[in-house]
Amino acid sequence: MKSIAPKTDFQTITKALLDNNKPFLPKFLHMFSDISIEDFKDLETIWGDINVERRISLLSDLEQLLEADTLLCFDDVARIGLNDENPVVRGQAIRLLWESKDPHFIPVLVHLVENDPENDVRSVAAEALGKFLLMGELDEIPRAKLTEIEFALLKIVQSSTNSALQQRALESLGYSSRDEVPALLKKAYQNNDKGWMIASLLAMGRSADQSWESFVIPMLNNHDHDIQVEAIHSAGELELEKARLALINIIKESSEDSEIRFAAIWSLSKIGGEGVRETLENLYENADEDEEEILEKALDNLESSDGTFGINFLG
């Protein structure tokens, strides 16, 4: 009879974290998901004694693990990291909350976005607040929480002197239905700066407002690679039917640029309509391994959005 390996005690993990002479074993990472109150207190007690590079790598490894398995939850570990004295650790702790929908993090993130001494941390916090702003628009958090987020982000866009921070705040405000937001997006779009253009296009794509069509479509063939990619993404998010033909042509003409091709393929799958299924199926027949995977997901997305089913080559 095969023996069952004993469960690792959390004290073994804390000792391993403090042992700088040995690498921290990846097999321990799952133990940080939904840790008990007792284990949380133990980790919090020794956190400051862990080598800073190990703290950073631990949070980074947990983020990667979460991307592979969204059923895991590392909110408690992130909670400790948000108060770390090192700004890189604080920023990585915020990134560990990408999947979290716990509204208790809202005041913490608002405090960071308003008061953290490092603009990089404030920028990551501004990005993270976008998800909670969307939850507010969907009535998934109290109205007061939504207002708190909006005021904090609006204040940054209107008064901060750091353009990168302002742009991250504007991107999150793309989810907002406040009256002030459209004017801010137009101003950013008209700014002769690549960063502002990209931020405005990203925010427009998040707005669910197809009136931005006349701003997005002219950028679909922009000479700047990054602006073009963001415009393609936004056209898909807004499901702009008038972008369909342009996206099909972009795919035909962008054989050397996989990022643009993949973005156009995915956006087409969100828009759907005449000629899209045929285009994607033809691409699939001649695709390499990487593009084949993208096309499979795109065709699945197309089927779920338009309720139609074509050639059953997806297995």
Amino acid type, 272: G
**Considering the domain boundaries, does residue 39 fall inside one?**
no
Q: At what angle do helices 244-253 and 258-271 cross, to 10 degrees?
A: 150
Long-range CB contacts (< 8 A, 24+ apart) of 14-21?
Answer: 14/42, 14/43, 14/46, 17/46, 17/50, 17/54, 17/58, 18/46, 18/49, 18/50, 20/51, 20/54
Judge contact between 261 and 228, C-beta under 8 A: no
Contact present, 104 and 111 (Cβ < 8 Å) = no
Which one, of 64, 74, 61, lies nearest residue 32 by Cα? 74
Is the same domain home to 145 and 261? no
Question: How many beta carbons lie within 10 A of that of residue 61, not counting itself?
Answer: 15
Predicted confidence at residue 306, as pLDDT, reads: 62
Q: 83 and 106 share a domain? A: yes
Do 174 and 224 share a domain, yes or no?
no
Does residue 117 lie in a domain region?
A: yes
Looking at the structure of the chain, the number of domains it has is 2
Q: Are residues 286 and 312 in the same domain?
A: yes
Please check whether residue 45 lies inside any domain of the structure.
no
- Co-location of 163 and 148 in the same domain: yes
Coil, helix or strand for 250? Answer: helix
Q: What pLDDT does 4 receive?
A: 43
Whether 134 and 171 map to the same domain: the answer is yes
- For 153, residues 6+ apart whose C-beta sits below 8 A from its C-beta are 113, 126, 129, 133, 169, 170, 172, 173, 176
Of 177, 208, 239, which residue is a domain's last?
208
Domain annotation covers residue 38: no
Same structural domain, 185 and 235: no
**Domain annotation covers residue 225:** yes
> Which has the closest alpha carbon to 125: 157, 192, 172, 159?
172
Based on the fold, state whether residues 131 and 221 are members of the same structural domain. no
Round to whole Å and give the CA distance between 163 and 87: 19
The verdict on residue 110 lying in a domain is yes
Query: Which contiguous run of DSSP H or E holds residue 205?
Result: helix 194-206
Q: Using one digit for the tens of pLDDT, what is the confidence trace for 83-111?
A: 999 999 999 999 999 999 999 999 999 99
Query: Of all helices (H) and strands (E), which one includes residue 60?
Result: helix 52-68
Query: Digits of tens for pLDDT over the chain (315 positions)?
Result: 444 444 568 999 999 999 999 999 999 999 999 999 999 999 999 999 999 999 999 999 999 999 999 999 999 999 999 999 999 999 999 999 999 999 999 999 999 999 999 999 999 999 999 999 999 999 999 999 999 999 999 999 999 999 999 999 999 999 999 999 999 999 999 998 999 999 999 999 999 999 999 999 999 999 999 999 999 999 999 999 999 999 999 998 876 788 999 999 999 999 999 889 998 998 888 888 888 889 999 999 888 766 443 333 332
- Same structural domain, 199 and 272: no
CB 295 within 8 A of CB 287: yes
Contacts of 12 (CB under 8 A, 6+ apart): 28
Q: Does pTM surpass 0.75?
A: yes
The residue out of 208, 226, 247 marking a domain boundary is 208
Query: Which of 159, 191, 208 represents a domain boundary (last residue)?
Result: 208
Q: Is residue 136 part of a domain?
A: yes
Could you tell me which residues come within 8 angstroms of residue 229 by beta carbon, excluding any fewer than 6 positions away? 259, 260, 263
Q: Which residue has the tokens 């929480």?
A: 145
What is the span of the domain harbouring residue 176?
60-208
Pair 272, 175 in one domain: no
252 and 192 fall within a common domain: no
Does residue 166 form part of some domain?
Answer: yes
Judgement on whether residues 196 and 227 belong to the same structural domain of the protein: no
Instruction: Read off the CATH number of the domain in which 290 is found.
Output: 1.25.10.10
